Amino acid sequence: MSKPIGVGVIGCGYWGPNLVRNFRSLPECDLQAVCDLSQERLSHMRSVYPEVECISDYQALLGRAGLDAVVIATPVKHHFPMAKASLLAGKHTLIEKPMASSSAQCEELIEIAKAKGLVLMVGHTFLYSAAVRKIDAIVKTGEIGEIQYINARRLNLGLFQKDINVAWDLAPHDISIILHILGEYPLAVNCQGNAHVTPQIEDVTNLSLSFPCNRFATIQSSWLEPRKVREMTIVGTRQMIVYDDLQTLEKIRVYDVRVERPPHYDTFAEFLYSYHYGGSYSPHLKQEEPLKTECQHFIDCIVSGQEPLTSGRSGLELVRILEAASLSLKSRGAPVVLSTPQELNAANKPFQAALQAQKSLLS
């Protein structure tokens, strides 16, 4: 058996402890150290994992002997400098979403990783969930027909961020799922929102993505809702899928419903649209923690040298969409064009080929 991959985690706040728990559970992984500025958090981690070294300086963690990979779960403003330092130190690097504060930063990280032959991966965790993988499989069969539009809602009361708005905080989950299912980039983005609690940091946003062939997706994000909502509706020409991540057993339900327009009509009765109401079913899903699958995938890619499903390139494309959303917000919802249809068609060919290859890693 080969030597376990030595891993260190930077950031032990909201999400970091979940990463620590999962990496520690993997037999191919040797969780060596965790890092945080808060001594209180480090004391807690030390009490739970006494065998793991606790460090307050991330540069000291990067210089630790035997460390092969670093996981970054800090506020977004720290992603780029920490990830750059990690890659330059020769460490495979996993960064929580969003990858960085700008597409230029993402591009620089991708270039460094490529030059050094290192794995660079982004934590788009929902792509590793059984629910999203099942939706992708159902769409591939053609069962629901051609996708017409996708509507997503990700709402809750808080957690309020200080350095990014709610679109940068919550929408990456839905954007990554939508790009994964559709397998193509959007043509344009428009976004509207308001800041009610912290000036200049929008806590409610409505974001729209326009795709070729008249397809579009809408994403509603909010920190100001009394109820927690994690729901996505995928409308096809034959069937529709509702994905509710808060459901324990029936996260996905497929509905055999559609609207059919008559090709021609001679009377008012024939003019009326035909509504088809069929049954519904909830497919079986394997009960597994998506984050554990993501952590295992990171380790597997380090061992095999394969590109991750959620590679640095995936992180870059998502940040480009978020940048366009920010520009649209400043322009009161005016659309921001990402590329022309011709450019998009050329870009989508390698994107779709790479996506299929990456998806096969988890099948």
Label residue 298 by pLDDT band (50, 70, 90): very high
The predicted model gives 165-193 an average pLDDT of: 97
Residues 112 and 150 in one domain: no
Residues 114 and 244 in one domain: no
The predicted model gives 51-59 an average pLDDT of: 97
Per-residue pLDDT, 273: 59
Name the domain boundary from 118, 137, 168: 118
Res 257 pLDDT > 90: no
pLDDT digits (tens, 9 = 90+) for 210-219: 999 999 999 9
Residue 308 located in a structural domain: no
pLDDT digits (tens, 9 = 90+) for 59-118: 999 999 999 999 999 999 999 999 999 999 999 999 999 999 999 999 999 999 999 999
Tokens of 295: 């952590």
Residues 74 and 149 in one domain: no
> What is the CATH number for 253?
3.30.360.10
Residues 172 and 65 in one domain: no
Label residue 158 by pLDDT band (50, 70, 90): confident
Label residue 263 by pLDDT band (50, 70, 90): low
Residue 301 located in a structural domain: no
Q: Is 243 exposed, middle or buried (0-12, 13-18, 19+ CB in 10 A)?
A: buried
Res 348 pLDDT > 70: no
Per-residue pLDDT, 60: 97
Residues 251 and 352 in one domain: yes
Residue 294 located in a structural domain: no
- Please count the structural domains in the chain: 2
Residue 296 located in a structural domain: no
CB-based contacts of 36, cutoff 8 Å, min separation 6:
10, 11, 12, 13, 16, 42, 45, 54, 56
Give the chain's radius of gyration (CA, Å).
22
pLDDT digits (tens, 9 = 90+) for 8-18: 999 999 999 99
pLDDT digits (tens, 9 = 90+) for 185-197: 999 999 999 999 9
Residues 85 and 132 in one domain: no
Residues 162 and 223 in one domain: yes
Res 318 pLDDT > 60: yes
Residue 328 located in a structural domain: yes
Residues 179 and 83 in one domain: no
Label residue 29 by pLDDT band (50, 70, 90): very high
Residue 216 located in a structural domain: yes
Res 351 pLDDT > 60: no
- Which structural domain, as residue segments, surrounds residue 282? 127-289+314-360
Residue 210 located in a structural domain: yes
Name the domain boundary from 73, 95, 118: 118
Residues 86 and 68 in one domain: yes
Residues 238 and 344 in one domain: yes
Residue 297 located in a structural domain: no
Res 354 pLDDT > 90: no
> What is the CATH number for 40?
3.40.50.720
The predicted model gives 41-53 an average pLDDT of: 96
Name the domain boundary from 68, 94, 118: 118
Residues 181 and 132 in one domain: yes
Res 363 pLDDT > 80: no
Residues 224 and 347 in one domain: yes
Q: Please, are residues 307 and 358 in contact by the beta-carbon 8 Å criterion?
A: yes
